[in-house]
Amino acid sequence: MVGPARPQIVLFGSSIVQYSYSNGGWGAILADIYARKADIILRGYIGWNSRRALQVIHQVFPKDAAVQPSLVIVYFGGNDSMGPHSSGLGPHVPLLEYIENMRKVAIHLKISFSNMHWNSIGVHSNTQLFVSQSLSENIRVVFLSCPPLNEQKLRETSSGYFSELVRSNELCRKYSEACIELCGELDLKVVDLFSAIQKKDDWMNSCFTDGVHLSSEGSKIVAAEILKVLKEADWQPSLHWKSLPTEFGDDSLYDLVAANGVDTINPSEWTFHREGKWD
């Protein structure tokens, strides 16, 4: 690990996460905002669904790791919500299983049962066998719900390389609502992307690159919603970027010299290079 130690924020999910580092994506936005505050770590990849999440979660978030993340931002649902393929293959996960899988992810990351009955949050017996304790009491979790999509644009950009992809806004809505309801049960923070994106004028054309994956405009909405949650969360310590200390923020004789030729100018809090101003 590169020092000095500072908070780690892990992005865990599917292509909405991996592509967030490209072309003005929301992951890249967060990496810029937190450049001198925390490390933004990518652990989300194209094609992953909630089943894949459970396959890899102990590798991505091992319980015996010396350093645990301060925050995990979780996104699964877009691939799960695809219609089933006749072969039984593919990323589709039935809604009830998706809910249970996301519950298991939440339990592994955050929920402690030392003073809580399993049944009080609707945990099924197979979940009890999956995991018995969370990574750390100090880890914070934010879930992102399934965003909407532009069905027409998706049909226009679909490749013949793949078998027919069954996606619809109605399926996205159902999985989004299920994620939001589960987070309410578990008292976890959640961003309602399905609603947030549709608030923008001309969202179908402006927020996507191919009807599914987010454009820079769509990513700005995601980043703003995440920052809003972090600012409003009653967490100690706060993980909002303005509340975190600036790394190596002390004055230095090696900073740029001011116009008076005597003083130096500390650039550690400069943000003027950003196109947008983030709250």
Has 14 been annotated as catalytic? yes
CB 188 within 8 A of CB 143: yes
Closest to 178 in 3D by CA, of 91, 254, 98 = 98
CB 28 within 8 A of CB 21: yes
Q: Which residue out of 32, 168, 206, 210 is catalytically annotated? A: 210
Map residue 196 onto helix, strand or coil: helix
Closest to 144 in 3D by CA, of 185, 100, 81, 188 = 188
The rounded distance, in Å, linking the Cα atoms of 252 and 219 is 36
The rounded distance, in Å, linking the Cα atoms of 123 and 107 is 10
The rounded distance, in Å, linking the Cα atoms of 244 and 171 is 38
Q: Which residue out of 14, 50, 145, 176 is catalytically annotated? A: 14
Has 80 been annotated as catalytic? no
CB atoms within 10 A of CB 135: 21
β-sheet with 71-75: strand ranges across: 39-44, 8-13, 71-75, 140-144, 189-191
Q: Which residue out of 92, 108, 213, 240 is catalytically annotated? A: 213
The rounded distance, in Å, linking the Cα atoms of 224 and 277 is 10
Letter string b/e over residues 5-33, b meaning 16 or more CB atoms within 10 A of that residue's CB: ebbbbbbbbbbbbbbbbeebbbbbbbbeb
Has 250 been annotated as catalytic? no
Closest to 54 in 3D by CA, of 109, 98, 110, 104 = 104
Q: Which residues are catalytic?
A: 14, 210, 213
